[in-house]
Amino acid sequence: MPLFKIISLNSYTQVFIWKITETFDELFQNVVLRDDSRARLEGMKSESHQKGFLSVRRLLMEAGYTDFDLYYDNFGKPHLREPASGKAEAGSGKWEVGSDIHLPSAIFQLPSSSPKHISISHSHNFSVITISDEIIGIDIEMLKPKTLKIAPRFMDIFHLENLSEENQLIKATVIWGIKEAVFKIKNEIGISFKDHIFEQDFSLENKKCTVELRFKTKVEYFDAVFDCIENYVFVCAFNSVPFGLASGEKK
């Protein structure tokens, strides 16, 4: 299957989704890889990971980039080499899964001359990338019972009170995705999902959430939006307001 969907979260943030139905050979024949990317691909033991890797490169092509425009820093965080200008705008579709969701108006839009930011995620049969003028984290997760079983290890279980078992699984998966997305923005050693990333109470119907990261005496705030795609949960997180001091800290 080709490109599954393009979602415009706002005028400067697009999400590209690929549903992987192709064979490895079908994906491989349609991408051009750098030598180091080819070596990385050949070193992957799982065909699922290989197909995820290749489908991400197909998504880059849909967005007007190639594997040669993508690089990773020393912490494994992806970046794009090219500035925002000079790349073709890809797609103009709006969010079409469930109810409309919109990013908070307080999100600051960078000048058009600033580099585009990218975040990447892959889970089983889906790969996603998001490209934005704003630093962003993205995560996609399959709904799996194991996530609910381990929920006390990464979240406050009060979020699951008074929900059906089905909605408990969805909400636990959303919260895992929120924490993953925030971690991808910060990407700092020592951040604990349960001890440092806190979600304000939210409902699944609202498809959005406010998040705090309390780490190294600082507090940073994030806005997250989410929805379901088939039996997967998709989450995007953005910085919301400037960080401040944690409780009890002095300037």
pLDDT tens, residue by residue, 171-204: 999 999 999 999 999 988 999 999 999 999 999 9
Taking 50 as the pLDDT cut, the residues of the chain under it are 83-113, 241-251
Q: Which CATH number fits domain 3-245: 3.10.450.50, 3.40.920.10, 3.40.190.10, 3.90.470.20?
A: 3.90.470.20
The phi and psi torsions of 96 (rounded to 5 degrees) equal -120, 0
Mean per-residue pLDDT over the chain, rounded? 86
The answer to whether 158 touches 143, Cβ cutoff 8 Å, is: no
The phi and psi torsions of 69 (rounded to 5 degrees) equal -90, -10
pLDDT tens, residue by residue, 150-167: 999 999 999 999 999 999
Rounded to an integer, what distance in angstroms lies between the CA atom of residue 148 and that of residue 231? 15
pLDDT of residue 81: 87
Six-digit token string for 240 = 């919301």
Rounded to an integer, what distance in angstroms lies between the CA atom of residue 84 and that of residue 131? 10
Q: For residue 101, give the nearest of 227, 249, 237 by alpha carbon.
A: 227
Q: Calculate the alpha carbon distances from 94 to 16, 27, 51, 173, 244 in Å.
A: 12, 27, 27, 24, 34
- The pTM score is 0.83
Domain regions of the chain by residue span: 3-245
The phi and psi torsions of 195 (rounded to 5 degrees) equal -90, -15
